[in-house]
Amino acid sequence: MAAPVEGSGPPALTLVTWGGTAASAAIALGVTRAGTAGGATPPDGPLGLWRPDAEHPVGWAVLALLGLTVLALAFLQLYRIVRARGADVRAVATIAAWWSAPMLVAPPVLSLDVWSYLAQGTMVHHGIDPYTYGPSLLGPGTILDSVSPVWRDTPAPYGPLMLATLWGVAIASAGHLSIAVLLLRALVVLAVVAVSLLVVRLAPADERALGLTLVAANPLVVVHLIGGAHLDALLALLAAVTIWSVRRRWYVLAALAAATAFSIKLPGILLIAYLVAHLVRQRVPLRHTLTAVAATGAVVIGYALLVPDGWGWLGAMDVPGRVRIYWAPASLVGGVLYLVTGAALPFTDALALARSLVGAAGAITVAVLLWRAGAEPSWRRAGALVGAALLTLAISAPVMHAWYVVWGGVLLAACAGPRSRHWAVVLGAALCFSAVPDHLGGTVWSVLAVPVCLLIVVVDAVRTVTPPRLARWVPAGAAVDTA
C-alpha cells in the first residue's frame, strides 16, 4: 500500500482538476491567438474564432507556454495523488475529460500536420496521386496556403487506409477546412476513449487508475494527439487491440488490428512482426498460424486497393527525415560527431552518419524485443516488450516527434512495471516542451523562459519518481512513494 502523499485529498484533486483545465484553456487560447509563422496561413475557423492576433503574437505564445508548464505540473501532481490511492478510475477519467475539453474547439495545436493531411485527402478526391506529387499541384487557395511550405512538394508517407480516411474526410467536409479538422479530431477522441478503456482492462486491477492517468491525462495525449488531431492515436489503439486479441488467442482479430495499423503508418509493421513471432515461438497450431498469416496478407492487400497506387507510400519513407528535429537522439548524436571531428566532417554528413548508426542500433534492439515478446508466456510482459519496441522505434527514427512516444507508451502504461511507468511520467512531462508556439522562436522567451519551464517540470518529474532510498538527495516535500 502506498504511503499517503501530502495534499492528496479532495481539495488537492479539485485544484488539480481546475488548474489543469485552466492550463489547457490557456494553451488552446494562446496557440489560437498567436497563430503560425513560417509561411503557412491556416483558415480563420468557424465564425472566425481561430483568427490570430497579428499585433501581440508573442504575448499569446507566452500564455501558451505557461499553460504547458502548469498542465505538466498538474499531470505530475495527479500522478502522485493516484499513486497514493487518492483518485480512482472514474475520477481520472473525469479529470482527463475536463483537461481535453478546451482542445476540442481549438485549431490544430502546435503542429501543421493536419493541414497536410487534409491537402492529401483533397488530392485523392481530385484524382491526384499524393504518393507521387505534393500538395502544390492543388494550386493556390486556402488548402495549399495552410500547408507548411516544407511539405508542399513532398509525397505522402502515410499508408493507404489513412489516405482513404483523409479522402473520406475531404468529401464529408465539402472543402470546409475547419469542419474537416473537427471531424479528424472527433476520430482521434474516439480512438483515445477506446484505448483508455482497453488500458483499464489490460492493467492489473490495483494499477488501472495509474495506467489511465498515463494515457488519458498525459499532456502528450491532451495537447498533441487531441489538440494536434494526430492520427497516431489510431496506431496506439491498434497496438492495444493486438495485445488484447493475442491474450484471448483471437489471432484473426490480432491479424486484422496489426494489418490495419501497418496500413495507417509504417510502425504498424512491428505489430505484424510480433504476431508472427508469437505464432512461431508459442508453437500455435499450424491451422491457426496459416489463417492469421493469410488474414494479415489479405487485409494489407485489400487496404492497398482503396486508393490508386496503394503501395506508393513505401517509396516516400524518407520524407519525414527531410526536416531536422534538434532534440531527436539522431540529431544529438550527429552534433556530437560534428564536434568530435572538429568540424572536419560537415554537419550534414555527420547527421546522415548519426541517423544510420542510431537507426541500426534501434533496428537491432527492436528485433530483439519482438523476438523475446513472441516467446514470452506472460501476455502482460509481452505487451510491455512490444511497447518498448515501439518506443525504441520512435526514439531511433531519423526524426522524432513527441506524439510518437504514445505508440508504445500506451502498452507500457497498461502492461509494464513501476520503473517503466516512471520513465513514462518523465517523458510525458518533459516532452511537453518539444514543440512551442512559432512566435517564441528567436526571442528571449525561447532562450530563457522555455529552458526554465522545462527545468522546473523535469525537476518535479524526477522528484515524483524518486525512490525512498534516494529521498535524502531531493528537496524536502518531494513525493517519494513508489507504489
120 domain-assigned: yes
**pLDDT at residue 445, rounded to an integer:** 67
Number of domains in the chain: 1
Q: Which amino acid is at 326?
A: Y
379-396 vs 329-340: helix crossing angle, rounded to 10: 50
Is the pTM higher than 0.85? The answer reads yes
113 domain-assigned: yes
Q: How confident is the model at residue 475 (pLDDT cuts 50, 70, 90)?
A: very low
481 domain-assigned: no
21 domain-assigned: yes
1 domain-assigned: no
Residue-wise pLDDT tens digits, 151-188? 999 999 999 999 999 999 999 998 899 999 999 999 99
**pLDDT at residue 474, rounded to an integer:** 42
Q: Which residue has the higher pLDDT, 30 or 466?
A: 30
**pLDDT at residue 317, rounded to an integer:** 84
Window from 146-150, 325-329, 479-483 with minimum mean pLDDT: 479-483
96 domain-assigned: yes
Rounded Cα–Cα distance for residues 444 and 448 (Å): 6
| Domain that residue 100 falls in | 10-473
DSSP for 111-145 reads --HHHHHHHHHHHHHTT--TTTS-GGGG-SSHHHH
Q: Kindly state the average pLDDT of the residues 351-358.
A: 92
264 domain-assigned: yes
Rounded Cα–Cα distance for residues 148 and 146 (Å): 7
3-state secondary structure of 89: helix
Rounded Cα–Cα distance for residues 58 and 60 (Å): 5
pLDDT, mean over the chain:
89
Residue-wise pLDDT tens digits, 404-420? 999 999 999 999 888 88
148 domain-assigned: yes
Residue-wise pLDDT tens digits, 366-408? 999 999 999 999 999 999 999 999 999 999 998 888 999 999 9
Residue-wise pLDDT tens digits, 259-306? 999 999 999 999 999 999 999 999 999 999 999 999 999 999 999 999
Rounded Cα–Cα distance for residues 35 and 60 (Å): 9
